[in-house]
Homo-oligomer: A and B are copies of this chain.
Amino acid sequence: MSVTGEMLIGATALRGGDSEIRATNPATGEKMDPAFGGGGAAEVDRACALAAAAFDTYSNTAPEQRAAFLEACAQGIMEIGDELIERACAESGLPRGRIEGERARTVGQLRLFASVVREGSWIEARIDPAMPARQPLPRSDLRQRHVALGPVAVFGASNFPLAFSVGGGDTASALAAGCPVVVKAHSAHPGTSELVGRAIQKAVQQCGLPEGVFSLLFGNGGTLGSALVADPRIKAVGFTGSRSGGTALMKIAANRPEPIPVHAEMSSINPVFLLPGAMAKRAEAIGKGFVGSLTMGAGQFCTNPGLVLGVEDDRLKTFLDASRAALEASGAQTMLTPGIYKAYEEGVSRLSTNNRVETVAEGQPGPGPYQGRAALFTTTAQHFNEDETLLEEVFGASSLVVRCPDVDTMLAVAERLEGQLTATILMEPEDLELAKQLVPVLERKVGRILVNGYPTGVEVGHAMVHGGPFPSTSDSRTTSVGSLAIRRFLRPVCYQDFPQDLLPESLRDGNPLGLWRRTDGELGKN
């Protein structure tokens, strides 16, 4: 395979004429070949028309056929081989080991959703059998299943060029639900996007599916991206990125003649709570571990720990000393894009010039043009409460330690936080009573609560929640990582008094698909 700079619209490849997009190698600052042609209204229209045309067929594929397609996508991504790894490294500045790991996660995710599709619980089949003799009125035969919402627009994220991009979690879960997908590629990694897109395009063809099941567009977010979300054939949106980008899509979706759900994963500062018992035992080790999590991947994770809360005492001083030492020794890392580097530098500069904030440490400078240096700041709880800007995410390896006079203040600060993807509690058994006070506060504000770990590193499984109240996401009722993510793209339909041969197979008498079904509310395999 080689990168051509073309969009993929159904089975075809074509060069957009509305704009020119080039990736920048952030390690060197050099523009990369080839130039990509960005599309416009005509390409959005064509991709959406094909997606709508594919919907009835694709959404009614048998579980086995759909699962095999997801596995073919995974296989195709692996078969690109080293070209994909090299292109993704060059476009993102991320090291080879990380990109190889991310590829494993991406194909693992596609395979997980294949297994979810086969297992079939996502259908949530329910049967309330007819009761013709019931008084005062007979009951009809009622059967419920979940069906796909419709074509889904997916926006690739900058910070995971594979796992949250063209073939990432949003695409995998939407395809698993039976929704055709139109991806708007992130302009930071167009080559990676095209390579993965071609693998999916090929899988569509190999599996004999309608071409409109998948399209890949390049272009400007404000024009092409907005047009995609506004298109009446699109029925849901998946997005991972900035708060401003996500809320802009939310507005467009809410103002359509037919409003649609947006699943935007946006902004989170991921508070870390240092409880006294843990600090008494291991303040130094916690400081080191924290800096390891903070600086991983140049801090460019949604779950990066951007806020630390502790009680101001000698142990916190030990924590800060250990953090300072670790952070000052940390090397600079290439950031994903010039824009992200610039925003990070501005965020760090806002903190370092804020009168309410003290700088604890800065990491080592680096040789390239977009080298992010980690940064650690501290402030008091009182200052933190006075300044709303301190609640804002600085995307990158920057964190703020809030020194609280006591644990009650720590709880009060927790109450002030906005919605978060994660919160972390560092504790020992003697902190249990305090943790029991903290957890209900966090449950209201957070999608995932960790004990004695660090929030970076998101497991792809059944129990994961990568979500949370606004602004961490636009819709806290779901997750964008893990098998529950399929539910974002489903809706229930009830079939009343249907003859057997008109019913979908999942709801027929005798349970031909062998599903878990709920009969009069009772779960069973009958």
Contact = CB atoms under 8 A, between A and B. Distances in A.
Contacts of A521: 115-116, 119, 461-462, 483
Nearest to A462: B521
A211 B491 CA distance: 35
Contact of A451 (B56, B250, B435, B502): B502
Given A461-B128, A464-B144, A490-B477, A496 B55 contact: no
Given A142-B459, A493-B446, A477 B261 contact: yes
Nearest to A488: B477
B465 A144 contact: yes
A350 interface: no
B137 A457 contact: yes
Nearest to A112: B521
Given A142-B461, A484-B144, A493 B448 contact: yes
Most buried by B among A149, A419, A449, A491: A491
A301 to B, nearest CB: 15
Contacts of A492: 447, 465, 467, 477-479, 484
A24 to B, nearest CB: 31
A494 B250 contact: no
Contacts of A60: 440
Contact of A250 (B56, B251, B254, B493): B254
A444 B493 CA distance: 9
A469 interface: yes
Given A115-B521, A494-B465, A499 B128 contact: no
A113 to B, nearest CB: 11
Contacts of A446: 493
Nearest to A144: B463
Interface string A430-445: 0010011001110110
Contacts of A235: 469
B516 A475 contact: no
B518 A462 contact: yes
A158 interface: no
B498 A449 contact: yes
A314 interface: no
Contacts of A254: 250-251, 254
A150 B443 CA distance: 11
B259 A459 contact: no
A494 to B, nearest CB: 4
A487 B126 CA distance: 15
Contacts of A501: 432
A236 B86 CA distance: 46
Interface in A485-514: 487, 490-499, 501-502
A140 B464 CA distance: 10
Contacts of A139: 459, 461
A220 interface: no
A476 interface: yes
A448 B128 contact: no
A453 B150 contact: no
A474 interface: yes
B128 A502 contact: no
Contacts of A444: 55-56, 150
Given A115-B521, A147-B443, A439-B502, A464 B494 contact: yes
A448 B116 contact: no
A143 interface: yes
Contacts of A475: 261
A121 interface: yes
Contacts of A476: 149, 491
A377 interface: no
A405 B144 CA distance: 33
A228 to B, nearest CB: 18
A113 B269 CA distance: 37
A469 B478 CA distance: 19
Interface string A118-156: 010100001110000000110110111001011000000
B443 A493 contact: yes
A190 B461 CA distance: 50
14 contacts: A56-B441, A121-B523, A126-B462, A126-B463, A144-B464, A149-B476, A149-B477, A261-B475, A448-B494, A451-B502, A462-B521, A469-B491, A479-B494, A484-B492
Interface of A: 55-56, 60, 101, 115-116, 119, 121, 126-128, 136-137, 139-140, 142-144, 147, 149-150, 235, 250-251, 254, 258-261, 418-419, 429, 432, 435-436, 439-441, 443-444, 446-453, 457, 459, 461-465, 467, 469-471, 474-479, 483-484, 487, 490-499, 501-502, 516, 518, 520-521, 523
Which 5 pairs across A and B sit closest by C-beta, in order of nearness?
A465-B494, A142-B463, A448-B494, A450-B496, A144-B463
